[in-house]
A and B are shown apart, each in its own frame.
Chain A
């Protein structure tokens, strides 16, 4: 019998195999990417009006708690009602078109619909008050919000990211006074870290990685 596979065919087969492998790989990757979070990290989502944390926090120096009033007491940091915005903006930039939705909502009583930037799955129970009261500064999760003209997600919010802090929180804690300070210094030395842990009484942090700490 003659050769079943001449040299050319063999070559073709080899190339074909490689191509097939590459193709499946790309397909898998793109699929994984497609099922990722809706608001990509670093990309500010569309909002009803172009609110700038940079302006309010850095330029005006407004405290986080002025608008997010629940952050120390509740799981939900709280979003300012239109009336809160209007305490200033009934006077400032009244006629700027950008503020039309705000005034409209105040007039009609129809609520503003903000797109959630840091969206956790429904089976995750994050509690702002718990973190704030234990000295986790805003910036640890929200990044330098004071440098964001438009608000975007600063962290991956994946479980491994949560765990990275829950496993050894020491390096992420600041003094109670500094929690809302965007320039707060994180403890550098081992000693400082232990000091913070001791201060917030999380020396035994077994329960920090309990499933039940975040999932119910």
Chain B
């Protein structure tokens, strides 16, 4: 297909939010919104969104903790049990700190890793960057993009709809 989608530029977060709601109301499903800072409620406006990061974090934490404790238990009890100061091989109280730290580490790595993967980052090349104005998306402008992969996508229709949201400009994004 020829293009990535139709992009509309707004001056404020509220306008973007409003535009998003109306676009979705207009029946478009594949909508993307871009803002220089997290805008409250924007995601919901774009459609149902499930946040998987917390679950991933929990999994990471459990893996890290369990793995950590197992490592200590295995090395101190199974692999090479040594009499250290008369303490038993399995001195569990001493194993707690490392277990905790590894749990935290696992959770943190999963949280960040999950965030990047789910966001598909890094994506150094992206069609949107071909749009001259889009550099303001990281400054003070707000963008709404209807993807042409949307079932109801029709360049003319979409453009008219977007114009109706009185944006600063509307422009087609080449693929």
Chain A positions near chain B (C-beta within 8 angstroms) = 1-7, 9-10, 13, 209, 211
Let me know if B132 and A10 touch, CB within 8 A. Answer: no
Residues of A contacting B163 with CB < 8 Å?
A: none
Let me know if A3 and B80 touch, CB within 8 A. Answer: no
Let me know if A1 and B132 touch, CB within 8 A. Answer: yes
Asked if B14 is an interface residue, CB under 8 A from chain A, the answer is no
What are the interface flags for B107-135 relative to A under an 8 Å C-beta threshold, 1 for contact and 0 otherwise?
A: 00000000000000000111001101011
Say which residue of B80, B82, B129, B132 sits within 8 Å of A4 (CB atoms).
B129
Chain B positions near chain A (C-beta within 8 angstroms) = 80, 82, 124-126, 129-130, 132, 134-135
Let me know if A209 and B125 touch, CB within 8 A. Answer: no
Let me know if A4 and B124 touch, CB within 8 A. Answer: yes
**How far is it, in angstroms, between the C-alpha of A139 and the C-alpha of B80 when the chains are bound?**
27
Residues of A contacting B80 with CB < 8 Å?
A: 209
**How far is it, in angstroms, between the C-alpha of A211 and the C-alpha of B80 when the chains are bound?**
11
Say which residue of B124, B126, B130 sits within 8 Å of A2 (CB atoms).
B130
Residues of A contacting B130 with CB < 8 Å?
A: 2-3
What would 11 more interface pairs be, CB under 8 Å, given A3-B130, A6-B125, A211-B82?
A1-B129, A2-B129, A2-B132, A3-B125, A3-B126, A5-B124, A7-B125, A9-B124, A10-B124, A10-B125, A209-B80
Interface hub of A3, A9, A10, A211 (most chain B Cβ within 10 A):
A3
Shortest CB distance B6–A (Å): 19
**How far is it, in angstroms, between the C-alpha of A1 and the C-alpha of B136 when the chains are bound?**
9
In the complex, the chain A residue whose C-beta lies closest to that of B81 is A209
In the complex, the chain A residue whose C-beta lies closest to that of B126 is A3
Residues of B contacting A5 with CB < 8 Å?
A: 124-125
Shortest CB distance B123–A (Å): 9
Interface hub of B125, B129, B130 (most chain A Cβ within 10 A):
B125
Interface hub of A5, A7, A13 (most chain B Cβ within 10 A):
A5
Let me know if B132 and A13 touch, CB within 8 A. Answer: no
Give 13 CB contacts A-B under 8 Å: A1-B129, A2-B129, A2-B132, A3-B125, A3-B126, A3-B130, A4-B124, A5-B125, A6-B125, A7-B125, A13-B124, A209-B80, A211-B82
In the complex, the chain B residue whose C-beta lies closest to that of A1 is B135
